Structure 1
Amino acid sequence: MPTIGVALALPEPWAEQLQSYRRSLGDATADLIPTHITLIPPTEVPEPELHAVREHLDLAAGKHTAFRMHLRGTGTFRPISPVVFVTVAQGIGESEQLADDLRKGPLEVELDFPYHPHVTVAHHLGDDLLDRAFTELAEFDCAFEVDRFHLYVHDDVAGWRRTDDFPLQPAAG
């Protein structure tokens, strides 16, 4: 049964910058996970239902407009989870509304934790490396327009691969 995820991809040069940073920490999964902001966490979907999932994602995309995303500084989920992330300074509400709409119909999934948009930069590493990431990326700052989200399918060898793009409505003005 395929495992899918839905996310906002970071544009270049920031996607590669953060992925390279994650790689530099020795994170073995860095090359298997594109730099992203999760909207729908990994979810198993029976192959015959993938068409309905794509239709659902397309309909949801049509209900949302493009928005500005500003990433700045770092945060952590420790001690609950060994994760350091880049924080979302602008675009939180839009991400939350989009994620909420996506978690309906064929993608109605229970979340283990409340939805919190972020970009993971260190995960399941030692405390020293998590502390290092938290400090070294504290000044990280970028902004970009989010005009689409993406469907990813997990491959056991290649990791997460983007298969579909879902354009949002153009922003007014």
Structure 2
Amino acid sequence: MTSIIESLKDLLQISLDDEPKNPLHVGEVMSCWLYITIMDEASVFIQIGLNTTTDDEVVKILKDSLKQCETQSQRFKSFMKKEGIHLPPTSEPRPNSDPNGVPLGTKLTDDEIMNGLSIKTVAAIVHCATASAQAIRNDVGSMFAHAMFEKMQFGASLKDMMRKRGWIKVPPYYYPPGAPSN
């Protein structure tokens, strides 16, 4: 049985093969520019988290996320360079440091690190969905759809780990007026 993702990929590939390559429109450029910024700034946050935590499971998921952010950022940077678009300025990478040397008043907790990573992952997914829907060129839409599916897959494993640790922040439950009580 064909999955939705495989069907979407096949549809986009057919369209990519025959599509004329018009110049990127300003929205596509801005979407790419912003996504590189999101990935590079998330990488800095992750590096800070790696410099803060001593938890092996947190370190593993941070390293997985850092690798994904760096890969996606490089993919979009290569595309933009090929298109002749300058790259956004982003923060400098952080050097490695000893997590035990970080003063407690400035040290992020593992809960804070994972919730920050979760927020950044959700923001990336939403941005990819929006950019993919707004893209005129199929190669741009496909690139954002691919990044979105990668982030969604990572987000599922992040959510499982956060749920297991009790770190998911749940808003108050909504009980509509007149709803039957259980």
TM-score by length of 2: 0.28
More strand by share: 1
Higher CA-based Rg? 2
Q: RCO (CA 8 Å, sep 6+): is it higher in 1 or 2?
A: 1
TM-score by length of 1: 0.29
